[in-house]
Amino acid sequence: MDFRKKLPPMNRKKWNNDSQKLVSPKSTEMMAANTHMMGDIEVQEEFMKYRSPLTSRYASEEMAFNFSERKKFVTWRRLWTWLAKAEKTLGLDITDEQIAQMETNLENIDFSYAAAEEKKVRHDVMAHIHTFGKCCPKAEPIIHLGATSAYVGDNTVARCIHRLATFAAEHKAVPCLAYTHLQPAQLTTVGKRACLWIQELLMDLRNLERARDDLRFRGVKGTTGTQASFLALFNGDGDKVDMLDKRVTELAGFKKHFTICGQTYSRKVDIDCLNTLASLGASVHKMCTDIRLLANFKEIEEPFEKDQVGSSAMPYKRNPMRSERCCALSRHLMCLIQDPLMTASTQWMERTLDDSANRRVCLAEAFLTADIVLSTLQNITEGLVIYHKVIERRVLQELPFMATENVIMAMVKAGGNRQECHEQIRVLSQEAALEVKQHGRDNDLVDRIKKNQYFTPIHAELDSLLHPSSFIGRCPDQVTQFLQEEANPALKIYSDKLQGTVELNL
């Protein structure tokens, strides 16, 4: 059934004109507020179409715009302009007036005309060449001169590290239970655990920087990468072709271009980029899973607003929805690496077009998803709450068992027999464990030791032997050293970008 038949005809011309403007609504209310741009009927029809939650609910305006149609096509026009400028400096018959006309019309895009052209020619690049030429009639003959379609076709991590570094320094000496197999093992500190998260994010930051610095411009290579068309334009002068390649690369803001390529740059570049983002997803998923588990233990909580609802049925609940969102989207981010892997492996000879539709989806989704995950993580790290008394109580529940070796060593120093002491404390430990597990009582092992005459030689030492701070080893020193030697230096180049907070709209 076509539900649109129930709606009166839309003002298509008005919508097409308005679609040139970037609209990235965050909610139904925001979309409704835009009815000055679209009539009520247009709004109704928009809500009858699928909208990606990445842009309609979560993504930042900046990242949503980065993958918008306007940004893409303005970038194409800049590339064509840079090509024309470089070709002119190398002697081709291109005038200043033609270049000026192109520069003046970089953002003057008639999307309605472009859509009609693409429907007719079935080629998005040719459609936009015609659209650009329509508003630059004098430049039309030299737009895309000698080029191929392939010619036109990333700080939040640092903020999260910075917030966590502050958190780690503040809590570097706060003892808490450490877990192996999700079972209490020994003690660590709240700050030391945060450093485990930071360490992985630092690896992601390094990977992002490497992927960014390794990016190269495809360059001016022509249809199958041979530069034959440009060699013909410059009458066989290979030096001028090399100079053109170099100048356009510089105009585009790149330091390097590929010497060898087919019709496109190697699709392994996409693997490098998305693998870096997928690895980041794994780090965030691990950290946010830890936070969710600690929230269950009531040791740590993510931010929770005054009017936030945790459950429609259970009003007492404080669900870790931000961490859950990070985990959910991180899974999606990790899965997206499969797309460029498959695409790169199936590029026949110099290129096959089955990369195109796939890349339109996976590249945009990967960067949008990473943006959402990181902004949500920043919001979490800016509002982490720890409950000291709960942490202390959980420590004291397990610490007596962990301290048995210390007790044995103290008894040996006082002249006791190690094996005899081991048996005495084994019996008392089992009795205490039975009280905890079968009767739900507190761990009373210390009281049992204090009442046992065998341990009289060390009764006066028990409080110091069982103080949590004596079980955290070098955690405080490790945190200080790690932050000074690894985290702070990595953040130094981002010092002017660490300000600002994130508030979630949903």
Query: Of residues 27, 123, 311, 469, which has the active-site annotation?
Result: 311
| 187 φ, ψ (degrees, to nearest 5) | -100, 150
Tell me if 48 sits within 8 A of 4, measured CB to CB: yes
d(CA 331, CA 327): 6
Tell me if 139 sits within 8 A of 93, measured CB to CB: no
Question: Catalytic site residue 311?
Answer: yes
| 324 φ, ψ (degrees, to nearest 5) | -65, -40
Query: Of residues 27, 68, 123, 181, which has the active-site annotation?
Result: 181
Residue identified by tokens 């009280």 is 435
d(CA 174, CA 392): 9
Length of the chain (residues): 506
Tell me if 264 sits within 8 A of 356, measured CB to CB: no
Write the CB contacts of 337 (distance below 8 Å, at least 6 apart in sequence).
Answer: 271, 274, 275, 277, 278
Q: Which residues pair with 396 in a beta bridge?
A: none
Question: Catalytic site residue 467?
Answer: no
Tell me if 7 sits within 8 A of 41, measured CB to CB: yes
- Nearest to residue 482, comparing CAs of 162, 83, 195? 195
Tell me if 402 sits within 8 A of 187, measured CB to CB: yes
Tell me if 178 sits within 8 A of 185, measured CB to CB: yes
Catalytic residues: 181, 311
